[in-house]
């Protein structure tokens, strides 16, 4: 079976915080034009997340684990279930808007050695924070006069259509697109590591294998968990 090259498996490990996860999933349905399948990995939630598969049935698989296996193991579990050419890893606190996935994949596909691409964001202290990127790397990024995610995304897409930059540091896995062939080559996340350590470790492994990391300048994704830790 030949799959479209832009088809994507979206993996979201979660543990409670139902309202954020529901908002993210609804945003994916509304703002994603490319073919996708969502894998929600429920790590033993005790809130309304346990009924997630009764609410959403289109292009989604919900796995209910009896215990919290951790964020990294949840990512591995979800990624292993799909077979699309691209994998997007997210936490349940993310919020997306129009063309978020299309723009990340467009930049990732500009060169075969780009192993992973992340969006601009707003988490304090994060090198994907749009203000930090503007100050240190890309002064052409406009200064926003609005907090609205959709308006910010529209502004970025006007100025940077399918454009991005290569970065020296690691990407935050609150939202990151990775080629499946990269995962096949490098392997899965280290399940003993929590979110931040697992993200750093995987980025180091990608670089060691000869891949580079990119940042999409026309994709802006909000991370409502400022520490970037969700589901383990």
pLDDT over 60 (residue 115): yes
Confidence check: pLDDT of 99 > 90: yes
Report the predicted TM-score, pTM, of the whole model to 2 decimal places.
0.94
In whole angstroms, give the CA distance from residue 220 to residue 134.
13
* pLDDT the model gives residue 2: 67
Residue 231 has pLDDT above 50, yes or no: no
Please tell me the total count of domains within the chain.
1
CA distance 159 to 141: 8
Q: How far apart, in whole angstroms, are the C-alpha atoms of residue 109 and residue 116?
A: 10
Question: Residues 119, 216: contact at Cβ < 8 Å?
Answer: yes
Residue 228 lies in a domain: no
pLDDT digits (tens, 9 = 90+) for 199-208: 999 999 999 9
Q: Which domain holds residue 43?
A: 8-223
Q: Answer yes or no: is 232 within a domain.
A: no
**Separation between Cα atoms, residue 42 and residue 115, nearest integer Å:** 27
What string of DSSP letters covers 4-16?
A: PTT-EEEEEEE-S
Domain of 171: which CATH number?
Answer: 3.90.550.10
């Amino acid at each position: 079976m030949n799959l479209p090259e832009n088809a994507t498996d979206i993996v979201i490990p979660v543990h409670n915080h139902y309202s954020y996860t529901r908002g993210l999933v609804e945003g994916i349905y509304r703002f994603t034009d490319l073919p996708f399948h969502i894998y929600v990995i429920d790590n033993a939630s005790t809130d309304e997340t346990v009924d997630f598969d009764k609410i959403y049935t289109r292009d989604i698989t919900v796995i209910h684990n009896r215990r919290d296996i951790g964020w990294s193991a949840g990512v591995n579990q979800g990624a292993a279930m799909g077979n699309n050419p691209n994998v997007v890893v997210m936490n349940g606190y993310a919020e997306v808007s129009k063309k978020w996935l299309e723009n990340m994949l467009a930049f990732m596909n500009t060169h075969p050695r780009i192993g992973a691409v992340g969006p601009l964001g707003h988490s304090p202290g994060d090198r994907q924070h749009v203000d930090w990127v503007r100050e240190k790397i890309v002064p052409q990024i406009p200064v926003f006069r609005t907090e609205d995610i959709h308006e910010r995304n529209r502004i970025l897409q006007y100025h940077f259509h399918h454009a991005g930059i290569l970065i020296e540091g690691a990407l935050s896995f609150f939202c990151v697109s990775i080629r499946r062939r990269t995962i096949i080559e490098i392997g899965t996340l280290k399940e003993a590591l929590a979110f931040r350590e697992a993200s750093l470790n995987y980025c180091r492994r990608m670089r060691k294998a000869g891949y580079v990391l990119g940042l999409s300048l026309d994709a802006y994704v909000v991370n409502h968990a400022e520490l970037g830790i969700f589901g383990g």
